[in-house]
Structure 1
Amino acid sequence: MDQRREPRDSAPGTPVRAGVPEHGRVPKYYAVKGQLETLLDELGEGGALPTERDLAARFGVARETLRQALRDLLIEGRVRRRGRGTVVAGPKLEQPLSLVSYTEGVRRQGRTPGRSLIGLDRIAAGDELGDQLGIGPHGLVWHLERVLLADDERVGLESTYVSVDRFPHLERDFDPDSSFYTFLREVARVRFAAADERIETVLATPREALLVGTPPALPMLLLHRVSRDETGTPVERVRSLYRGDRFSFTTQLSPQG
């Protein structure tokens, strides 16, 4: 006999039982979160939430219970901090997992991309980076570090490494406020053919959190990419750190065989 139970209290496109555990006892903060979500829908994108004191009084809960619900919504990207207050966040940016630049991905969603230069330095590659770029540990690389912006909001941090031998005049030829992929394609005449990419969830270091403007406890999405040209030669090694509350990633899958 098939003793599997049918999902209860579920609707198409919603989680089974909307997150309620099987024993049916809902944590108080989770119930408050549901009430807050209703309020967010009423306020709309950019709407300012009342103070924590007022919200706690409205829902009849302790301030710490309310803060736990707000923390969940912050991590999920439903709200964001603005000064000392909290406002309703817009939809997350969807970045494609493909060989396109950050600039192209953000513009496709009607947002304005931008970058803020932290530094452009020449450093020794070392063992790992030298192996990834195929230049050996003593080869020199450019390290380009920039804060990523979307509509002037800080959303990520990007470190790009390329061989100095291949791009000897990068500091002269490249505008750090512009798209590096556009420079590679239109100025350096590089044509990408393939890339290896890995994604993981991390917490930002204190320095990274300060640069991106997020709380240190906010989960971040970390992407490592090594891109190669048509000859199979490594072109760049990129480490991109994105705010988990502002970004999601998409890709298109097809069956193998």
Structure 2
Amino acid sequence: MRNDIPPHRAGEPIRAGVPEHGRIPRYYAVKTELLVLIEEIGEGACLPAERELAERYGVSRVTLRQAVGELVLEGRLLRRQGSRTVVAPPKLLQPLALVSYTEGIRTQGLEPGRTVISAEVLSADPQLAADLGVEPGGEVIYLERVLLAGGERVGLESSYLPRHRFPRLLEDFDADGSLYAFLQRELGVVFGEAEERIETVLATPREALLIGTNPATPMILLHRVSWEPDGTPIERVRSLFRGDRFSFVTRLRQ
């Protein structure tokens, strides 16, 4: 097992995460070795057995498990039930733009899908009422859906819309489809702008169960409020994505 500082390569974080005092934690040194192995064996390949890897790198199984565990949380490895740990596919890239989840997933060659958890009418609390331009206690449509990509559960989306604007939405909209597309094509809604806030969280026990993920897996939480060009509110959306399966991309201009 090498204990020297890994050389810095162009494009990597400065010093590749090594503390300034230069002493590399053993699990981190193993992790860098595993990253090289992952690149060599490729997506879907099984890692060698735990004992073999521990012997190869000259560390204890506890140290090896810590390195593997971090790579699982980061989405570089997957633990398959009843089988060994395998190299994960690349993360899904979702654009931070006024496009639907459906469009973003299809551009990557996967079929998007949704499983409906709830579709109902609720009373708006003061903040939701302000976001959607309704009176506090006014009626809003609430849709909660598990997001799928190629049949895999990858997120959970909660959408709120003012009922007075879309009185027949629950009757006319196929909740398995794209809400964004329905609003545009069937109701003539024009998305003018949106404000989006992004943070990292851990899923609640209920959310983890719905998404089918480990509660310790980091999640990416997006809050979005959308308006038409004249400032009329359209929807407020809370989207929770698996941090091990998603990354987000945008292009910034001056």
TM range (shorter): over 0.9
Counterpart residue number, 1:4: none
Q: Amino acid of the residue matched to residue 67 of structure 1?
A: R
CA distance in 2, matches of 1:76, 1:19: 15
Q: Amino acid of the residue matched to residue 118 of structure 1?
A: I
CA distance in 1, matches of 2:202, 2:196: 19
Q: Amino acid of the residue matched to residue 36 of structure 2?
A: T
Counterpart residue number, 2:53: 55
Which structure 1 residue ranges, 5 or more long, are not aligned?
1-7
Shift, 1:54, TM fit? 4.2
Change (3 A) 1:232 1:157: same
Report Cα offsets for 1:187-221 as digits up to 9, x if no partner: 11101101111001111111111111111111111
- Aligned mate of 1:77, from 75, 78, 88: 75
The sequence identity of aligned pairs, in percent, is: 60
User: 2:115 aligned with 1:126, yes or no?
Assistant: no
Q: Which runs of 4+ in 1 moved over 6 A?
A: none
Helix, strand or coil: the match of 1:132? helix
Shift, 1:92, TM fit? 1.1
Counterpart residue number, 2:3: none
Shift, 1:86, TM fit? 2.2
CA distance in 1, matches of 2:154, 2:24: 33
CA distance in 1, matches of 2:87, 2:251: 30
Counterpart residue number, 1:45: 43
Q: Amino acid of the residue matched to residue 182 of structure 1?
A: A
CA distance in 2, matches of 1:95, 1:205: 23
Which structure 2 residue ranges, 5 or more long, are not aligned?
1-5
Change (3 A) 1:169 1:53: farther
Shift, 1:57, TM fit? 4.0
Helix, strand or coil: the match of 1:232? coil
Counterpart residue number, 2:26: 28
Shift, 1:75, TM fit? 2.3
Tell me, yes or no, if the aligned pair for 1:226 and 1:236 is still in contact at 8 Å. yes
Shift, 1:44, TM fit? 1.1
CA distance in 2, matches of 1:46, 1:145: 32
CA distance in 2, matches of 1:203, 1:234: 29
What TM-score results when the alignment is normalised by the length of structure 1?
A: 0.91
Shift, 1:106, TM fit? 1.1
Q: What's the RMSD between the two structures over aligned residues? A: 1.6
Shift, 1:53, TM fit? 4.2
Helix, strand or coil: the match of 1:192? coil
Report Cα offsets for 1:50-95 as digits up to 9, x if no partner: 3434433443322221221112212221112322442211111111
Of stretches 155-164 and 72-81 in structure 1, the one that deviates more from structure 2 is 72-81
Of stretches 135-144 and 37-46 in structure 1, the one that deviates more from structure 2 is 37-46
Tell me, yes or no, if the aligned pair for 1:32 and 1:66 is still in contact at 8 Å. yes
